[in-house]
Structure 1
Amino acid sequence: MAVLAALCALIIAVLLNSFSAIKESNDAVNDLASINILQANAANRLDSSTWQLHKHMADFGDYDRRAMREQAAASLALAKDTLVQADRYYEILNFRDHDALANTASRDAGNVRHEFLDRILGAYQQMTDAEFRQALDTNDRRTLNAARAKIEEGVLQLSSIVSEFSTFSGERSELRFKRADSAANNALTINVILVVLSALVALITLWAISRLILAPLNSAIAQCDALAENDLTQDMPPASNNEVGRLFAAMHRMQNNLTSVISQLQQATTRVAGGADDIASGSQDLSARTEQQASALQETAASMEEISGTVRQTASTAQEAEKLVTTSSEKAMEGADEVARTMTLMQAIEEGSQRMDTILSSIDSIAFQTNILALNASVEAARAGEHGRGFAVVAEEVRKLASQTATSSREIGDMLGTMREQIRQGSTQASVSGDKMRDIAANIEHLNAMIGELSLSANEQETGVEQIGTAVAEMDAVTQQNAMLVQKTSSSAAMLSAESHRLQGITSLFRVRHTPDAEESGAALSSLSSTSHGGDHTLKRPMLASAQDI
């Protein structure tokens, strides 16, 4: 555990050292990007804008002296735009990132930076004072011409200060990069040392694991392989105080317990096999005598079964005949009922055909009235002359449809008359068929009663024969049960003998070392097995006697 703790401490030290180097590099990059580059660019752009302002003011003075008003006004407009642009850079320089300055390597460098910025801003404010800005807004040519010398002097002063500030920023950046590079090199050296120490600690850890854990575990695996191959004679290595030592102690106890159990099992299986062989021999003798007695009863039962089968077949035939007659009677009655329902349906159809005559009469009347209306419409169309010609055609078509309707209605009436006659004939024939079906049903009922008497007589004979067969069957069942019990006993004894021999074969696969504890346990088990074996003999003789009594 101490070695692992040391390894973890070295890894944490490497991480902390790397984090410190990265932080130093980030501070340097932040100082360069957030302060040096930003403020240096703003200062240079402010310097460039003031030079442009100086140029535009010089152009304005030249154009104004030559009375070139338009060119002078254009130069003033450019000067105003340049002044707006310069004010933006002024605001950038006037913004002080105190947090960024606080993160610099030394507070003195931040103070020097503030002094440069204050000088740059003061020179710009002095050059572009309120009087100059008001004159530029009002286009006061006299004031602007007077301010040109002040602007030229201010531009030179501002340019000198910006040049000094750029030199300071460059030197500051170079210093920060040197410090960051030195910190990175130191961190790399420390990391290499820590990594080498970590590798040494890891090698020591691997050696300790191999010697104190892997080697004992390999020995334990070899012991387990020997146990898997039924070898209980292997010596366990001496136990130590660690977890692996406790594992070997537990394996040693397990091996001793298994040796004791296997020794007892080997002795017990030998005695159980001898007793099972004696039981199997006696059971086979008893089974042979019981089978002879069961065979004689089976022959008697077979004879009674043949007689019972004959009587049963007669009764069964009578019952089937009775069922067939009953079924025929039911079918005949059903046929009569179906004929009655057929007659009812035919009467309903006949009544429906009569109602259809009424409907056809209504249709004929409607067709006749429609024909009259069509004739009247034709007359009215003829009176209307040319305007009623189309209406006359429609009236003629309606009259034709009315005539066709009347003709179809008469044809349907003739068909209905024919159908009513056929329905009456079918109803009469169904009535005759119903009477005949009822006569057949009455004859079948009489036949059913005769067959019922025959079936009752056959059932009484079957009952008598079955009572005799039942008595014989009960005797045979008792004998068969005895035979089955004897067979089960014999099978169980044979199976017990086979299992005991198989168990002897299994236990013989184990190679055990005889110890005093195992011998004492085996002696106790041997005395218990002898007592049980003697009890088996005392129990076996009464069982054989009872089988002979049967």
Structure 2
Amino acid sequence: MLVVLGVLVSFVASRVVRNVSRSIGGEPATAAAIAMQIARSDLATRIDLRRDDTSSLLFSLREMRDQLAATITRIKTSAETITVASKEIAAGNLDLSSRTEEQAASLQQTAATMDELTKTVTQNADNAATASELATDASSIAARGGQVVNDVVQKMAGITDSSRKIGEIISVIEGIAFQTNILALNAAVEAARAGEEGRGFAVVAGEVRNLAQRSATAAKEIKVLIDQSVAQVGEGSTLAGRAGSTIGEVVDAVRRVTAIINEISAASKEQSSGIGEVNLAIRQMDDVTQRNAALVEQAAAAAGSLDEQTERLQHAVAVFKVEQRA
């Protein structure tokens, strides 16, 4: 009876062991060792299965190992790709940051130059406006001078007419003196004929004759002076006319210069306005460049952080031992 019972127990035990071994897919110690290796990040350990084993614990362990190995391999590959990309991004951001800083410096220098140019053009515009005012004043003064010269010419013409009239009057005086001289001469002849009785009258006739001759001489001298004055006035009138023409030409030239200066002033104002707009645009570009530089620095910092995190990820997955496949 005991023998039968022992045989029965042995049979049952062998069936249990066989079922457990079939469920595990091998020895329990083997399964435990494989699980320990996987727990220690060794995903390259070899797991041998029985033929047609698709449901045992060892099969599940191998499937888990294969999935983990594939996942870790993809993570490693992705981490390496991210590392390369992050390094390239960091290098690109560094180069972009350098170029942005250079551009910002160039824009600042350009803005400073444009400020100086704006000041210069503004000063030129102010100078042109001042010159235009001075030229306008000069034109007015020259015009008034021309009018004064014209008035002088007219006055000289009046003096010439008056001198001619005086000359005519002197001619009349000369005629009267000549006739008086003739009459005095006749009176002297008649007094001589009268003898002693006409002697006193002869003396008076002689004095009248002397006065007539002196009047004629003075009239001739005055006529000579008047003729000279008329000639000089004529020359002065001619010169004044020439001066008037010259001043007229000066007035025309000053007006043309004034027009040119006004055009220069207007052009300078337009140029100053245009340069002001360019200066504003450059300042806006400089502001945008400064903001871009800040964004580039932030991107560089983010790329550096990404590179650091990728290295940590690589260190984290490096502990896994994965089977190298061709």
- TM-score scaled to structure 1, two decimals? 0.26
Q: Which has the higher contact order (CA 8 A, sep 6+)?
A: 2
- TM-score scaled to structure 2, two decimals? 0.42
